[in-house]
Amino acid sequence: MPLIAIETLSVAYGTPPRPVLSHIDLSIEEGEFVCLLGQTGCGKSTLLKLVLGAEMPARGRILIDGTEHNRPDRTRGYVPQKYSLFPDKTVLDNITFGPEVAEFNLLTRFTPRYLRRRRQLRQEALRYLHRIALCDADAPKYPHQLSGGMQQRVAIAQALVTNPRILLMDEAFSALDPGTRKDMQDLIRQLWRDTGITVLFVTHNTREALYLGSRIIVLAKETADDGARIAMDLPVPEPCHQDQIPRLVHRLELASGCVRESEEAVMATAIA
């Protein structure tokens, strides 16, 4: 049984309904690193939110380990595109906030059990802080005292501290400068190898998808009025040698429509 099973899924928004995703069938095994690739507006982030349980499909269903999950829970960690840290909380408090809210309410706080559990969570948070290449001195800092790359590291720790089986990342590195982005790619790839977690990673960067993923799913629309479908399902060779990358980039961009759009832009320029 696959860890994630997406069955005949379709999504439409607006009145009248405008299709975003159409007839998506996809199985993802535990431990895969799957990159969702495609042009802006093809439904990559929508599919991620459907797996998270934050949105519901118009048709079809999503099963996590054979069961439908209709809202977010601790089986799935989520790292959004923009920084998601609470500005009034320290790094350590940002990491422990989710588990504390999930396990305790206002009436059960400040009980001996809460205080014991809070100490445990802070120790776990410090371990994750080290795992994401930050140090104890960063724990009392506030988000405005961190660089963009450091903030995204903390966001990853936020997502991982609940020990999810699935990590969902929505263009999480797109706002970073190239050097920091490469560091973050190395970090998440190493975390995936170390933990065996299943990763679903949204990107529109073809080379990033080839570097990170064990498998790439390309979403594309046949016309502007159609919902996106799976245009390609590509296992990434391991290792992926440098001489293979240009050919794979061309295949993936052709499937997503990038090559066709580039050629049309060149023709339009020539005609003008």
Task: For the chain, give the percent of residues with pLDDT over 90.
Answer: 56
Can you point out the beta strands (E) in 84-149?
none
Instruction: Select the more confidently predicted residue: 211 or 107.
Output: 211
Residue 86 confidence (pLDDT)? 94
Of 19-23, 107-111, 165-169, 231-235, the least confident: 107-111
Give the tens place of pLDDT for each residue, 43-102. Answer: 999 999 999 999 999 899 999 999 998 889 889 999 988 777 999 999 999 999 988 888
Where exactly are the structural domains of the chain?
86-163
List Cβ neighbours of 6 (8 Å cut-off, separation of 6 or more).
Answer: 24, 25, 26, 27, 47, 50, 51, 60, 62
Residue 39 confidence (pLDDT)? 87
Mean pLDDT (whole number) for 238-263: 73
Cα separation of 259 and 254, whole Å?
5
Give the tens place of pLDDT for each residue, 180-190. Answer: 889 999 999 99
